Amino acid sequence: MGANFESKYLMNKFFSKKISIISFILIPIIFLWHPNWLGFLGVQPYWPLFWLLPWSMINGSINGLIFGLFLGLILDSLTLDDSLTQIPGLIFCGFLFGRIKLYSDNLVGHFRYGLICSFGSLLCGTLYFLQILLRNFSNSNSLMLMASVKNILAEVFLTGLFAPFICSQLLRMFKFSRRKLQ
Amino acid sequence: MLGIRRISTTRWWHKKKNWLFFAIFLFLVFVRLSKGSFYKDIYYFISKPFWPGQFQKEIVLESIDQEYLIKLNLLRKDNLRLRRILSLQESSNNEKISAAVISRKTGSWWRQIILNKGSKDGVEIGNIVTGPGGLLGRVKDTSLFTSSVTLITSPESKLGVWVDRIQINGLLVGLGDDYPSLILYSKDADIKVGDFVSSSPASTLLPPNIPIGIVQSIDETLKSKKTAKISLLAKPHVIDWVQILKVNI
């Protein structure tokens, strides 16, 4: 009984300490899972931003930039487009998010996460779209433009919708694990 | 007083029987005006248990399926024989690998699916993936247990296709939405809505005669080319099981 309790306690301690790493590992899995019932017009929210925002807010711009790069590298390896990359958008977002101060008012903070993540998603989407445009410069037409604008807008909407729930929870957990570590 | 009572009981609208007749008359007028639809609907429900059942329908459909299958096999054999005589490329007759879709990205920037069969099962880069309806895409990457497929709707995908009615080759380019664009490098090509598009016999990436889609709309003719939107026969966002064809082109 005692041993069981102790192992449970140790496991809880481990999870609370490593929550940031565990959630980081989960991002590519959710990215691959691509649950349709969470989508809008077949588009998903931009999952990596939900993790990157709280991480960068707590650990600063440089950390955000580095982990933006890491996330970009992992997600690029999961997608098949060799010549297109998500790294610039995520690096930029990581750096920008790191400059944002933690807000004291919780309610405003929750909504602020939505707005920031929407902006980040717009930035990443636009950078990705520009790469597609540059690559298919000769073949590009209005149909491609329309599909891309639809993708960007749906992604911005969904990311902004989910961010207040997910980011605030992750931020709370990251803060908690950090406090325990200190 | 007595006189008044007598009058009131003798009025026609005070008799139940008259009202009954009036109601029947109205009903008959309704039946006449509705051309008996009321009766037909009642008959529909009464006769429902005695209809020729699903069982009979299944037998008929099964027979039609068998007939089509036999015809298809005969045509396939003919096609193979004629291709051999003309020394044309042969459709792949090699083994097919059935695989399940374990990850699906069909609505965003990335148009790809991941299958549960990988290099361990003999899947190779460049293999063709088909689903119910026709072509889905090509294997772009394999791991030990999985293989990633670039869908033909992806902006990365460019394939040679064949429009059978006008006997012309074209290029199918993914646009990042559900309808890839067919580019015909001839502004005089007489392409029409409803034309059937299949893989090109001249393609170096695909075996010939794999169904791909149907022309949904035709865009404006540009200087030297004609473009059209293609509605795919195989729907990647709903297909759970696919076939991987090993290609020998």
Mutate to test the interface with A, among B110, B140, B141 (most CBs of A within 10 A): B110
pLDDT band at B49 (very low <50, low <70, confident <90, very high): confident
Residue A20 has pLDDT above 80, yes or no: no
Supply the pLDDT for residue A87.
87
User: Of the candidates A87, B198, B132, B152, which has an alpha carbon nearest to the alpha carbon of residue B140?
Assistant: B152
Higher pLDDT, B184 or B107: B184
Supply the pLDDT for residue A3.
59
Residue A10 has pLDDT above 60, yes or no: yes
| Prediction ipTM score | 0.74
Residue A86 has pLDDT above 70, yes or no: yes
Residues of chain A found within 8 Å of residue B112, distances taken between Cβ atoms? 79-80
Residue type, A27: I
Q: How does the average pLDDT of chain B come out, rounded? A: 80
- On whether the CB atoms of residues B161 and B212 are closer than 8 A, the answer is yes
* Nearest-CA distance A126 → chain B (Å): 11
What is the C-alpha radius of gyration for chain A, rounded to an integer number of angstroms?
A: 18
| Coil, helix or strand at residue B174 | coil
Q: Which tens digits make up the pLDDT trace of A133-165?
A: 887 766 656 666 777 888 889 889 999 888 888
Which of A84, A143, A148 is closest, CB to CB, to B181?
A: A143
Residue A115 has pLDDT above 80, yes or no: yes
pLDDT band at B154 (very low <50, low <70, confident <90, very high): confident
Q: Which of A154-158, A172-176, B19-23 has the lowest mean pLDDT?
A: A172-176
Mean pLDDT comparison of B12-16, B51-55, B97-101, highest-scoring range: B97-101
What is the C-alpha radius of gyration for chain B, rounded to an integer number of angstroms?
A: 32
In whole angstroms, give the CA distance from residue A15 to residue A168.
18
Residue A35 has pLDDT above 70, yes or no: yes
- On whether the CB atoms of residues B21 and B13 are closer than 8 A, the answer is no
Supply the pLDDT for residue B62.
83
In whole angstroms, give the CA distance from residue A127 to residue A116.
17
Check CB contact under 8 Å for A147 and B103. no
* Nearest-CA distance A90 → chain B (Å): 15
Supply the pLDDT for residue B12.
76
In whole angstroms, give the CA distance from residue A139 to residue A135.
9
User: Nearest chain A Cα to B115, which residue?
Assistant: A32
Residue B92 has pLDDT above 60, yes or no: no
Residues of chain A found within 8 Å of residue B239, distances taken between Cβ atoms? none
DSSP A102: P
Which residue blocks in chain A are alpha helix, DSSP H? 2-17, 19-33, 47-59, 61-78, 87-98, 106-135, 142-181
Which phi-psi region, left, alpha or beta, contains residue B122 (left: φ > 0; alpha: ψ -120 to 50)?
left
Query: Which secondary-structure segment (H or E) carries B16?
Result: helix B16-33
Q: What percent of chain B has pLDDT over 70?
A: 87
- On whether the CB atoms of residues B118 and B142 are closer than 8 A, the answer is yes
Check CB contact under 8 Å for A144 and B219. no
Cα torsion A109, A114, A115, A116: sign: positive
| Coil, helix or strand at residue B237 | coil
Residues of chain A found within 8 Å of residue B105, distances taken between Cβ atoms? 34, 79
* Nearest-CA distance A147 → chain B (Å): 6
- Mean pLDDT confidence for B227-249: 82
The partner residues of A40 in beta bridges, in order of sequence, read A43
pLDDT band at B81 (very low <50, low <70, confident <90, very high): confident
Q: Kindly give, in sequence order, each residue whose CB lies less than 8 Å from that of residue B96, ignoring residues fewer than 6 positions away.
A: B243, B244, B245, B246
Residues of chain A found within 8 Å of residue B154, distances taken between Cβ atoms? 80-81
* Nearest-CA distance B81 → chain A (Å): 38
Residue A180 has pLDDT above 60, yes or no: no
Q: What is the 3-state secondary structure (H, E, C) of A130-150?
A: HHHHHHCCCCCCHHHHHHHHH
Supply the pLDDT for residue A118.
92
Higher pLDDT, B175 or A3: B175
pLDDT band at A121 (very low <50, low <70, confident <90, very high): very high
Mean pLDDT comparison of A154-163, B49-58, B205-214, highest-scoring range: A154-163
- Mean pLDDT confidence for B181-202: 83
| Coil, helix or strand at residue B116 | coil
In whole angstroms, give the CA distance from residue B172 to residue B154.
11
* Nearest-CA distance A105 → chain B (Å): 35
- Mean pLDDT confidence for B224-241: 84
- On whether the CB atoms of residues A112 and A103 are closer than 8 A, the answer is yes
In whole angstroms, give the CA distance from residue B220 to residue B152.
22
Supply the pLDDT for residue B96.
81
pLDDT band at A122 (very low <50, low <70, confident <90, very high): very high
User: Of the candidates A46, A178, A180, which has an alpha carbon nearest to the alpha carbon of residue B110?
Assistant: A46
Q: Pull the structure tokens for residue B122.
A: 């003999």
Residue B53 has pLDDT above 70, yes or no: no
Mutate to test the interface with B, among A44, A79, A150 (most CBs of B within 10 A): A79
Q: How does the average pLDDT of chain A come out, rounded? A: 79
In whole angstroms, give the CA distance from residue B199 to residue B38.
54
Which of A34, A141, A150 is closest, CB to CB, to B105?
A: A34
- Residue B20: how many CB atoms within 10 A of its CB? 10
Integer angstrom CA distances of residue B23 from B10, B12, B26, B38 = 20, 14, 5, 16
Supply the pLDDT for residue A73.
84
Residues of A near B (Cβ–Cβ under 8 Å) read: 32-34, 36, 39, 41-44, 79-82, 84, 125, 128, 132, 135-136, 139, 141, 143-144, 146-148, 150-151, 155
Supply the pLDDT for residue B115.
85
- On whether the CB atoms of residues A52 and A97 are closer than 8 A, the answer is yes
Integer angstrom CA distances of residue A130 from A84, A85, A134, B132 = 10, 11, 6, 35
Query: Which secondary-structure segment (H or E) carries B181?
Result: strand B181-184
Residue type, B10: T
- Mean pLDDT confidence for A109-132: 87
In whole angstroms, give the CA distance from residue A13 to residue A103.
27
Residue B243 has pLDDT above 70, yes or no: yes
User: Of the candidates B203, B209, B198, B202, which has an alpha carbon nearest to the alpha carbon of residue B93?
Assistant: B209
